[in-house]
Structure 1
Amino acid sequence: MKASPWQKRGPLAALSLLLLSTLAEATTVRVHYDVGYGNRVTIRGSKSPLSWTTGINATWSAGNIWTLSWSNSAGDVEIKPLVNDTVWSTGANYRIKAGATVELYPFFGPASGRLQYVSNVYSPQLGNSRTLAVYLPPSYSENPLKRYPVLYAHDGQNLFNASTAFGGVEWRMDETANALIGNGSMDEVIIVGVYNAEAHRIYEYTPCCDSQYGGGGADKYERFLIDTVKPYVDQNFRTLTGKQNTALLGSSLGGLVSFYVGRRNPSVFGKLAALSSSFWWNNQTLTQQVEVSPTKVEVNVYLDAGTSGDGLTETTRMRDALVADGHLQGGDLFYYVAQGAGHNESAWAARLNLPLTYLFPWQGTAY
């Protein structure tokens, strides 16, 4: 009798086909990855019929999608994809709930992203130009099938490079993201560091208007982000464009403008992080607006402040206003007090892991 193609591929492949063809109610993983001709994707896991010692062949289909299903009766399972059952995917185990169909976009190389700079990005809203520093996550070149959430971060010159950072102290945002992705604490994400316009920073990052400092350009900066920067990023990089995959982050006045713009545009930004924010601005008008708001804005919010001259009292008042509005600590609100921390780049760099893992937790991306 002539052997079928699946018989020729061996018993693991035959078991894979059997699993796919006989299960009426199944848990399914679909691994999106091009392993190249002659190679295969296998799945190892924590419960039978999977095991951690030997992988089961996934089934290839057009588009380089490798599929494996098993009975719901196995319950919730942890799994890992491998190439040729020898090279493990980078990051943590994937947690798969019984009955779910889960899309996976793994990578198998080192957890090392890269930076790409876009110079002279003109803002018709503000009449000036600036640089974008774009962090592309580790799998960006390795797995071209994958699209990514996007984090828009203010004061971009401070994030990645000490030579351009204020006081020569950078946030080490790329190193922190690499480490969190590598240990499986954080999903991969594109980070767009939007440089500030130096002498115009106070104006651009503030609503109108503080009696001492003036300001009032935040509405124009908001339109620059939404109408110029985001369309450029979405057109030139492989992004996931929905609000659930789009976030803002900043510190000090950058935290203020993150909070202001994010809550004004919940259909664009589903989450924001405001570190050591200047909520004192204009006699805490922004906080007062939250306190009197009749409806909750559906945006996930990270807030923090240090205990050493870092606006903790004003940040706590904003936290209380959000809680009164219906936000829940541990859910759509993460409030953190950084003991001993002051108002500076090194303090923000030291706790950057907290907002990054809150905004983009492992397996939190909505594909």
Structure 2
Amino acid sequence: MRSAIHVLAAVAALATAVSAHATTVRIHYDAKDGDIRVVGTKGPMTWDAAAPARKEADGVWTYTWPDKLGDVEMKPKLGKDNLSVGSAYKLPAGAVLDIYPFFGAPFGKVTLVPDFASPQLNNKRNLRIYLPPSYDENRAKRYPVLYMHDGQNLFDAKTAAYGAEWGIDETANALIAGGKMDEVIVVGIDNTPDRIPEYTPCCDPKYGGGKIDAYMDFIVDTVKPWVDAHYRTLKGKDDTAIMGSSLGGIASVYIAEKHPEVFSKAGGVSSSFWWNQQALVKNAKGSARRVPVKFYLDAGTSNDGVEDTRLMHEAMRGQGYRDGVDLLYIEAEGGSHNEKSWAARVDRPLQWFFPWGSTRY
């Protein structure tokens, strides 16, 4: 088998050889003793008749068609019958697109990393890591990463604080299989008995708080480097998001605003913008600083602090964030402050942050 360097050199040579008047898809998949074919909307390929892709290097297949065909939708096949999971890939005329398909069952898996130490907070906690469906099948692929708080509530009702989970793994699996969301790694960071201070800036008159900067440093300087070293991640800010609920919601907004060079997406689900007499809302109103981060905010209409979240939404609009562009605000009719409500709408931020076909390699 060629070395990784030889494979990269072959792919680089192919890229320079592609005609300026040709549209090309590069399919990264180790087909073993099989082959890769292409179905699509135009040219020799149709949805019923597959055209053979050309093997350019170990695990790299290409298919090219003239730009004059215009925009094309296509999917790869493994052999005659095995169509890739998810939606079609859309290529505008003239594009050169790398894709990393998979053909097996659309089910990710959750692994536990116990007793992960935080030097910043002088404590330990578990990490719960969702690996997407193709992780073991297509080992050439790397993935965006979503960091989430309250990790024990995300994947398993048995460990969830109130016996109800978010169902992040089930929701992600369904969205990926349906071609509505790109594959991602989700890192659930368990909370500790110090949850309130770790998730909050100083200092609420009733609840105190004030350890969020240390918790932020734990995520940025300890958790993320470890995850990047141990899993096949896309490390850049464009592929890194953070999200949580309640106090975890304000923690996500706070951390992303402090580190826009690390996170390009942040989600606050039922965020506790009441904290410290609406300090985060007031800070947003008093600041013209707009960071290059895509924010998601929501609240339920049933005893879920929707009034505070509306104020934060309006304050962020005043900072220059644009609805539907870098700010998505949702009011969930009848939604309340619990995991069941969050599970019912978590598909919204997942699709907003990672829509199908949005990841670039």
Task: Please tell me the TM-score bracket, short chain as reference.
Answer: over 0.9
Aligned equivalent of 2:105, options 106, 110, 114: 110
The one-character-per-residue Cα deviations of 1:56-106 (angstroms, maximum 9, x if unpaired) are 111112241101111111111110100113210000111111111111000
2:34 is aligned with 1:27: no
Question: What one-letter code is carried by the residue in structure 2 that aligns with 1:283?
Answer: Q
1:230: how far off?
Answer: 0.3
Aligned equivalent of 2:296, options 295, 299, 302: 302
Aligned-partner SS, 2:162:
helix
2:252 is aligned with 1:252: no
Paired with 2:17 and 2:352, the residues of 1 have a C-alpha distance of 39
2:311 is aligned with 1:312: no
Q: Which residue of 2 aligns with 1:56?
A: 51
Q: TM-score, normalised by structure 2?
A: 0.94
The one-character-per-residue Cα deviations of 1:130-153 (angstroms, maximum 9, x if unpaired) are 000000000000000000000000
Paired with 1:366 and 1:263, the residues of 2 have a C-alpha distance of 24
Residue 45 of structure 1 contacts residue 77 of structure 1 at CA under 8 Å; is this kept in 2? yes
Paired with 1:72 and 1:333, the residues of 2 have a C-alpha distance of 35
2:69 is aligned with 1:74: yes
Q: Which residue of 1 aligns with 2:82?
A: 87
Q: Which residue of 2 aligns with 1:98?
A: 93
Q: Which residue of 1 aligns with 2:233?
A: 239
2:322 is aligned with 1:331: no
Q: Which residue of 2 aligns with 1:264?
A: 258
2:123 is aligned with 1:158: no
The one-character-per-residue Cα deviations of 1:119-166 (angstroms, maximum 9, x if unpaired) are 010000001000000000000000000000000000000000111101
Please tell me the root mean square deviation across aligned C-alpha atoms, in Å.
Answer: 1.3
Residue 23 of structure 1 contacts residue 70 of structure 1 at CA under 8 Å; is this kept in 2? no
Residue 18 of structure 2 contacts residue 24 of structure 2 at CA under 8 Å; is this kept in 1? no
Q: Which residue of 1 aligns with 2:336?
A: 342
Paired with 2:104 and 2:289, the residues of 1 have a C-alpha distance of 46
* Ranges of 4+ aligned residues in structure 1 off by more than 6 Å: none
Residue 20 of structure 2 contacts residue 94 of structure 2 at CA under 8 Å; is this kept in 1? no
2:276 is aligned with 1:282: yes
Paired with 2:200 and 2:24, the residues of 1 have a C-alpha distance of 48
2:60 is aligned with 1:65: yes
Paired with 1:233 and 1:48, the residues of 2 have a C-alpha distance of 42
Please list every run of 5 or more consecutive structure 2 residues that lacks an aligned counterpart in the other structure. 1-15
The one-character-per-residue Cα deviations of 1:329-361 (angstroms, maximum 9, x if unpaired) are 111111000001110110001111111111111
1:250: how far off?
Answer: 0.3
Aligned-partner SS, 1:167:
coil
Paired with 2:62 and 2:212, the residues of 1 have a C-alpha distance of 47
Q: Against the structure 1 CA distance between its residues 97 and 22, is the aligned structure 2 distance closer, same or farther, given a 3 Å change threshold? A: closer
Paired with 1:49 and 1:350, the residues of 2 have a C-alpha distance of 43
Q: Which residue of 2 aligns with 1:293?
A: 287
Q: Against the structure 1 CA distance between its residues 190 and 31, is the aligned structure 2 distance closer, same or farther, given a 3 Å change threshold? A: same
2:23 is aligned with 1:40: no
Residue 27 of structure 1 contacts residue 70 of structure 1 at CA under 8 Å; is this kept in 2? yes
1:294: how far off?
Answer: 2.4
Residue 158 of structure 1 contacts residue 169 of structure 1 at CA under 8 Å; is this kept in 2? yes
Q: TM-score, normalised by structure 1?
A: 0.92
Please list every run of 5 or more consecutive structure 1 residues that lacks an aligned counterpart in the other structure. 1-19
Paired with 1:169 and 1:83, the residues of 2 have a C-alpha distance of 39
Aligned equivalent of 1:210, options 204, 210, 222: 204
| Larger Rg over CA atoms | 1
Query: Which residues of 2 match residues 129-144 of structure 1 at below 5 A?
Result: 129-144=124-139
Question: What one-letter code is carried by the residue in structure 2 that aligns with 1:259?
Answer: V
Question: What one-letter code is carried by the residue in structure 1 that aligns with 2:328?
Answer: F
Question: What one-letter code is carried by the residue in structure 1 that aligns with 2:39?
Answer: R
Question: What one-letter code is carried by the residue in structure 1 that aligns with 2:190?
Answer: Y
Paired with 1:109 and 1:54, the residues of 2 have a C-alpha distance of 21
Paired with 1:202 and 1:248, the residues of 2 have a C-alpha distance of 18
Aligned-partner SS, 1:335:
strand
Aligned-partner SS, 1:202:
helix
Residue 54 of structure 1 contacts residue 85 of structure 1 at CA under 8 Å; is this kept in 2? no
Identity of aligned residues (%): 51
Q: Against the structure 1 CA distance between its residues 21 and 45, is the aligned structure 2 distance closer, same or farther, given a 3 Å change threshold? A: farther
Of 244-253 and 280-289, deviating more is: 280-289
1:23: how far off?
Answer: 5.2
